[in-house]
Structure 1
Amino acid sequence: MSNVWHNRTLALAGIIQALNSVQQIARQGNAPIDTVAASLASVFKMNPKSAEDVYGNIEGISVGLQVLNQQLNRKSYRTDPELLRYLTNIMYLEQRLKKRPRILAQIADQIKHIEPQTEEISPADPRIIARLADTYVNTISTLTPRIQIRGEETHLRQPENIERVRALLLAAIRSAVLWRQMGGTRLHLLFQGRQLLYETHTLLKRIPRAGAA
């Protein structure tokens, strides 16, 4: 049972990490490239050996775990209604997507064509991001309701930011697929917060502290 919750927590942190980067880009015009790269790399893990393998390692999902911890630990932190709204929308879109096998096949086909490039350049390279953004526009963006991103218009009008946001939303969907595959439901978010918080703490303890030998 613990392993099931371990995997669900990783998947949820994956969604949160991608959406947190979307928020940073929309509000500030940028997000840490290592965090963005880790989220985008998960898109190409179509046949992972484990849930952890989707993110490379626990360190790759560290930001998502930290933000998830804050959202679940309501005694110490304020919840972010905007982030939770994005999360709900992503999970709803994933539910709609699983009923569209043609679109799922189209996404898989496009990702397979992009993947060879990642052997030479980072998933966060603008060329990869542009192709992932196109994949999002041609597939998930055709579903309704479309996710409305809020932030500074100055940042949201920039073409490179638009592409990064779309690519990250695709990464969020990928983690939402993993969440569902691990048996995760919206009811778990409502009624199993303690279990998720416990697993989040357990996973965060496995991440080496900066500067530790």
Structure 2
Amino acid sequence: MTKYHDIAIALAGVCQSASLVPQLANTGNCDRELYYLGMRSVFNTSPSSTLNVFGERKDIQSGLKLLVSVLGSEQKENADVLRYTFGTLGITHKLRNQPETLNDIGMRIQRVASMHPEMSLEEVATHSDELSYSLAGIYSDIISPVAAKIKVMGKIEYLQNTLVQAKVRTALFACVRAAILWYQVGGTRWQFIFSRKKIVQAAQELLTEY
């Protein structure tokens, strides 16, 4: 795989979790499988490859399709996803310059993970609510203060629900995890201007190969 395949995979991870935020904010629910995949990725701090952060190729298909759409001609249709994607990329950009903050996040993640030795999808699904509150706590305590808060738009009856709030923060945390990966594999914000076609082509090749 080329550098742009890794960049596309990481960005797809951001988009995939970003797509869960408007679902939660407007309906109180979201795609469970994608939510569990995003949550599990937060705990995968020592991956063997870029793809391994999310699992297998099939686990990132939704994000790759979304990436092709948001970087192509369907930006208006995916305006919310694009906003949450760029919002979390911005937060991550600031986080990267704060090694102590990143270390604190890592320690908190390990503390939660120590109570769940096998962080499989089944384990994540079984303890979904508990893990959501734990990750939301890390997001609120450490990540949120780093930059201006991302304004989540939705229906008030869902946005006031504590579990929905926790899941929204967890989804945003998963976006940040994927965004950190994106920077690690050579992603830069200039690529959205000068390398958009290369990223879209890489994403389409990953979809075709699957």
When normalised by structure 2's length, the TM-score is 0.91
1:175 aligns with 2:178: yes
Match of 1:11 in 2: 10
Unaligned runs of 5+ residues in structure 2 are none
Matched, 1:110 2:108: yes
After superposing the two structures, state which structure 1 stretch, 78-87 or 156-165, moved more: 78-87
Does the residue aligned with 1:122 lie in a helix, a strand or coil? Answer: helix
* Structure 1 residue 22 corresponds to structure 2 residue 25: no
Q: Distance in 1 between matches of 2:156 and 2:101?
A: 31
Structure 2 counterpart SS, 1:123: helix
- Trace 1:33-182 onto structure 2 (pairs within 5 A): 33-74=32-73, 77-79=74-76, 80-116=78-114, 117=116, 119=118, 122-124=123-125, 125-182=128-185
Q: Secondary structure at the match of 1:148?
A: coil
Per-residue displacement from partner, 1:108-152 (whole Å, max 9, x unpaired)?
Answer: 001111113262753341111110111111100111211111111
CA gap of 1:29–1:118, structure 2 versus 1, over 3 A, is farther
Q: Which moved more, 1:115-124 or 1:24-33?
A: 115-124
Residue 192 of structure 2: which of 189, 192, 199 is its match?
A: 189
What fraction of aligned residue pairs are identical, expressed as a percent? Answer: 28
- Could you tell me how far apart the structure 2 residues matched to 1:176 and 1:103 are? 16
Quote how far apart the aligned CAs of 1:97 are.
0.7
Q: Secondary structure at the match of 2:16?
A: helix
Query: Is the contact between residue 89 and residue 147 of structure 1 (CA under 8 Å) also seen in structure 2?
Result: yes
* In 1, Cα distance between equivalents of 2:117 and 2:190: 36
Match for 1:7: what amino acid?
D
C-alpha distance in structure 2 between counterparts of 1:161 and 1:206, whole Å: 36
TM-score by length of 1: 0.90
* Deviation of the 1:78 alpha carbon: 4.4
Whole-angstrom CA distance in 1 between matches of 2:194 and 2:27: 33
* Residues 75 and 82 in structure 2, CA contact (< 8 A), matched pair in contact too: no
Report if aligned partners of 2:17, 2:35 keep a CA contact under 8 Å in 1: yes
In 2, the alpha carbon distance for the partners of 1:36 and 1:206 equals 24
CA distance in 1, matches of 2:103, 2:88: 19
Q: Give the 3 Å change call, closer, same or farther, for CA 13–118 of structure 1 in structure 2.
A: farther
Q: Is the 8 A contact 1:132 1:170 kept in 2?
A: yes
Check 1:94–1:32 CA distance in 2 against 1; reply closer, same or farther (3 A cut).
same
Distance 1:195 1:159 in 2: 41
2:42–2:177 contact (8 Å) kept in structure 1: yes
Where does structure 1 lack aligned partners over 5 or more consecutive residues? Answer: 208-213
- Quick check: 2:51–2:57 contact (8 Å CA) kept in 1? yes
Choose the corresponding residue for 1:199, options 197, 202, 205: 202
Does the residue aligned with 2:190 lie in a helix, a strand or coil?
A: helix
AA in 2 matched with 1:145: A
